[in-house]
Amino acid sequence: MAMTEKVSISLDRELLQQARRYAEDNLSGWIGEAIRERVLLERGREFVRERERERGRLDDELLEEIRGRWRGSSSTPAR
């Protein structure tokens, strides 16, 4: 099991109410999963930026392929 660290955060009250509604009895786990998904998204964006710096802009077709693969490997529904 991964090591955990207790943290204190401030959240918008309405946002917290919605999170509690969807998280049911595991708010910490739900927030942890949201952070994990955001980290994966940011890592993907970072990869694309680095790749474009090295080799130039990715064409739209390749970007769509990357998006499709990312959506297929994520637990987050496609938007």
**Domain ranges for the chain:** 31-74
Q: The tokens of 39 are what? A: 């980290």
45-60: b (≥16 Cβ within 10 Å) or e? eeeeeeeeeeeeeeee
What tens-digit pLDDT sequence spans the chain (79 residues)?
689 999 999 999 999 999 999 999 999 999 999 999 999 989 988 988 998 999 999 888 888 887 888 777 655 444 3
Structure confidence at residue 63 (pLDDT) = 82
pLDDT tens for residues 60-79? 888 888 788 877 765 544 43
Query: Quick one: angle between helices 27-55 and 60-73, nearest 10?
Result: 160
For residue 75, what pLDDT is reported? 52
Rg of the chain over Cα atoms, rounded to whole angstroms, equals 17
